[in-house]
Structure formats: structure tokens, C-alpha cells
Amino acid sequence: MAKAAQRPPVKPVLVLNGPNLNMLGKRQPEIYGRETLADVEAACRVEAARLGLEVEFAQSNHEGVLVDHIQAARDGNSGIVINAGAYTHTSVALLDALNAAELPAIEVHLSNIYKRERFRHHSYISPAAVGVIAGLGSQGYLLALQALARLLAR
């Protein structure tokens, strides 16, 4: 009897957070909510397990460190969920890193960036993303994981 072909294990999804997201729950809770980044991570771990995914988390306030994580993801991860914070609106370096990684990436924003200041309406990283989720709070991360699970299953 022939063995059924087994799919190789899926590499973990990188959930990458940019500047000031370490201050979730403290910084402007009327905009970003009262959940902490640790709360978001815990919810993502539960959702990832339900979806049969593994996740890795990283956060940095430094653009170069975020670029380093994205570059490492090319070989170590299957996809990226990225909330680049303010670097969304300023960083060609993150766009270039995401393009070079050649992984499916989903851009997440806790707030609805289109209801905020005009400078937040433009994202430099969106052209490298398969999708953008904005304005749904931490649920956006869970939706991004669900979307990646579907993409990776194809």
C-alpha cells in the first residue's frame, strides 16, 4: 500500500509590528483601544492554532530592525502580517523589503486610516501587500491570519 503524499510543514507566519505598537493599551486608547500588544499576540496565537498555523511575533520602533525581520522572513516564514505603524506612511525601505521577501503580506491597521489625518491616507507598503485591513481594531490581525491561511492552503 502506497503512502499518501505528505505536505511539507508550513513555515510560521510573521506578525510584525512597527513603532509605538508596544504602547498599545496606554497610547490614545480612544483611537487604538485598551488591548495591549500582548493581548493581540495571545489572540493571534489562539486563532493561528485554530487555523493550523504557527506564528512568530516581532515589534520594533526602528525601521532597520523591521527591514531585517522582513528579509529574514524570506527564508524563515510563509507569510507576513504587518502593522508598520507610522512607517506605513513614510517607508520606501519597508516596501522594498516586502517586495524582496516575495511572500504574501497583509497590511493591518487598528484604526481606520482614512478617517484620520490626510497624511495617513497614503501607504507606501500597500503595493507589496495582497490585502489591507483597516479600522477593525485587533480583529484585523485575526482576519489577516484567516486570509493567509486560505492563501497558503492553495
Of 11, 154, 125, 18, nearest to 79 by C-alpha is: 11
**Residue whose C-alpha is closest to residue 85's, from 24, 148, 33:** 24
Active site residue 32: yes
Half-sphere exposure of 83 (CA within 13 A, CB side): 33
Q: What phi and psi, each to the nearest 5 degrees, are found at residue 65?
A: -65, -40
The whole-angstrom distance between residue 79's C-alpha and the CA centroid of its chain comes to 9
Question: Catalytic pick from 32, 87, 124, 141?
Answer: 32
Is residue 122 flagged as an active site residue?
no
Q: Which of 69, 87, 109, 141 is catalytic?
A: 109
The dihedral formed by the CA atoms of 24, 25, 26 and 30, expressed in degrees to the nearest 10: 100
Q: Which residues are catalytic?
A: 32, 109
